[in-house]
Structure 1
Amino acid sequence: MSEEQTVSLVDVLEEDEELEEEASAVLAGSDSDHCSYPQGYVKRQALYACNTCTPKGGQAAGVCLACSYKCHEGHNLFELYTKRNFRCDCGNGKFTDAPCKLFHDKEDVNGLNKYSHNFFGEYCTCGRPYPDPEDQVEDEMIQCVLCEDWLHGRHLGCDVPDGVELQEMICESCMTTNVFLWSYAAHLAVPGGAVQSETVAAKEATSSLRAQTDEAAEPSRKRGRVEGKEGPACRLKALEASGVKRVRSGAVFWPSGWRSELCRCDACQGRLAEAGLSFLPDESDTVLAYENKGKRQEGDAPAPDPLMSALDNLNRVQQLEIIHGYNDMKSELKDFLQTFAAEGKVVTSDDIRQFFELQQSRKRRQVDGRFHCA
Structure 2
Amino acid sequence: MSAEHSGSPREDTVSLVDVLQEDEQLEEEASAVLGGSDSDHCSYPQGYVKRQALYACNTCTPKGGEEAGICLACSYKCHEGHDLFELYTKRNFRCDCGNSKFTNLQCKLFPEKEAANSKNKYSHNFFGVYCTCNRPYPDPEDQVEDEMIQCIVCEDWLHGRHLGCVVPDCVELQEMICEACMNHHPFLWTYAAHLAVPRAAEEEQQVKEESSGEEVKREAKEEEESTSNDSKAEASDGPSCKRSRQESEGGCRLKELQAIGQKIVQSGAVFWPSPWRSKLCSCISCQKSLAAAGLCFLLDESDTVLAYENKGKNSEQERGGHDPLMSALDNLNRVQQLEIIHEYNDMKTELKDFLQGFAAEGKVVTPDDIRQFFEQQQSRKRRRFNSGQFYCS
The TM-score, its normalising length taken from structure 1, stands at 0.78
1:205-225 C-alpha deviation (Å, 9 max, x unpaired): xxxxxxx89839939988xx8
CA gap of 1:199–1:139, structure 2 versus 1, over 3 A, is: closer
When structure 1 is superposed on structure 2, of 315-324 and 326-335 the one drifting more is 315-324
Of the two, which has the highest radius of gyration? 2
1:109-156 C-alpha deviation (Å, 9 max, x unpaired): 111101112112212222222222333322222111111111222221
Q: Is the 8 A contact 2:347 2:377 kept in 1?
A: no
Question: In 2, distance between residues paired with 1:236 and 1:221?
Answer: 18
Is residue 2:118 matched to residue 1:111?
A: yes
1:288 corresponding residue in structure 2:
306
Identity of aligned residues (%): 64
1:208 corresponding residue in structure 2:
none
CA gap of 1:100–1:365, structure 2 versus 1, over 3 A, is: closer
Q: Is the 8 A contact 2:16 2:355 kept in 1?
A: no
1:172-225 C-alpha deviation (Å, 9 max, x unpaired): 111111111011001001111544275423795xxxxxxx89839939988xx8
CA gap of 1:16–1:190, structure 2 versus 1, over 3 A, is: farther
1:3 corresponding residue in structure 2:
none
CA gap of 1:25–1:267, structure 2 versus 1, over 3 A, is: same
Question: In 2, distance between residues paired with 1:214 and 1:332?
Answer: 69
Q: Letter of the 2:305 partner, please give it.
A: V
1:314-333 to structure 2, matched below 5 A, reads 328=350, 331-333=353-355
1:169-248 to structure 2, matched below 5 A, reads 169-193=176-200, 194=203, 195-196=206-207, 199-201=210-212, 215=219, 218=222, 231-248=249-266
When structure 1 is superposed on structure 2, of 230-239 and 148-157 the one drifting more is 230-239
1:268-307 to structure 2, matched below 5 A, reads 268-302=286-320
Structure 2 residues not aligned, in runs of 5+: 1-13, 233-245
Q: Is the 8 A contact 1:217 1:235 kept in 2?
A: no
1:252 corresponding residue in structure 2:
270
Deviation of 1:15 after TM superposition, in Å, equals: 5.6
1:63 corresponding residue in structure 2:
70
- Higher helix proportion (structure 1 or 2): 2
CA gap of 1:117–1:242, structure 2 versus 1, over 3 A, is: same
Question: In 2, distance between residues paired with 1:156 and 1:50?
Answer: 28
Q: 3-state DSSP class of the match of 1:279?
A: helix
1:145 corresponding residue in structure 2:
152
Q: Letter of the 1:297 partner, please give it.
A: S
2:138 corresponding residue in structure 1:
131
Question: In 2, distance between residues paired with 1:352 and 1:55?
Answer: 39
Question: In 2, distance between residues paired with 1:152 and 1:216?
Answer: 43
Deviation of 1:231 after TM superposition, in Å, equals: 5.0
Deviation of 1:50 after TM superposition, in Å, equals: 1.7
Deviation of 1:270 after TM superposition, in Å, equals: 2.0
Question: In 2, distance between residues paired with 1:184 and 1:293?
Answer: 28
Q: Letter of the 2:298 partner, please give it.
A: L
1:35-60 C-alpha deviation (Å, 9 max, x unpaired): 11111001111111122222222211
* RMSD across aligned positions (CA): 3.9
Deviation of 1:288 after TM superposition, in Å, equals: 1.3
Question: In 1, distance between residues paired with 2:353 and 2:97?
Answer: 43
Question: In 2, distance between residues paired with 1:371 and 1:248?
Answer: 76
2:362 corresponding residue in structure 1:
340
When structure 1 is superposed on structure 2, of 313-322 and 257-266 the one drifting more is 313-322
Q: Is the 8 A contact 2:247 2:282 kept in 1?
A: no
1:73 corresponding residue in structure 2:
80
